[in-house]
Structure 1
Amino acid sequence: MRRGIKVRLVAFVVLSVTSILYVGANYLGFIDQALGRGYTVHVMLPDSGGLYEGSEASYRGVRIGKVAKMEVKGDGLQVDLAIDEDTKIPVDSPVFVHNLSVVGEQYISFEPTTKNGPLLKDGDTVRGTAESLPLGEDVLLQDLDKFVSSVNVSELNTVVTELGTMFRDNANPLRSMVDSAQKFIDAAVENEPQTLALLDDAQTVLQTQKDNSDNIRSFAKDLADVTETLATSDKDVRAILDRAAPSADEVTRLVRTLRKSLPPLLKPLISVTEVLDARLPALEQLLVTFPRLISSGPSALTDGSQTDGQKFGRVNLNLNQDPGACTEGYLPPGQWRPTSEESFVPPYYEAQCASGPPVNMRGTKYAPPLFDWKNQ
Structure 2
Amino acid sequence: MILTKTRISVAGMAALAVASFVYMDHLGLETGVMEHVRTVSMAVPDTNGLVVGSRVLLRGVQIGHVTDINSSAEGVSVAMKYDDGYRIPAGSRFQVDNLSALGEAYVAVTPDTESGPYLANHATVNPAEVTVPTTFKELSARLTRMLEQIDPDKIQDIFHELNVSLPDDTQVLGNLNHAGELLATMITNQADSLTTLLTAMQPLLLRSGTVPADLANTTPTIAQFGSSFGDLLNGIRFAQQRGPTTVGIRDGASPFLVNLQGFLDKNATDLHTLGVDLLPGVRAGAAAMSTVNVGQVLDNALAATDSGDSLTIHLHMPGK
- TM-score for the superposition, normalised by structure 2: 0.49
- Which structure has the greater CA radius of gyration? 1
- TM-score for the superposition, normalised by structure 1: 0.42
- The structure where helix makes up a greater share of residues is 2
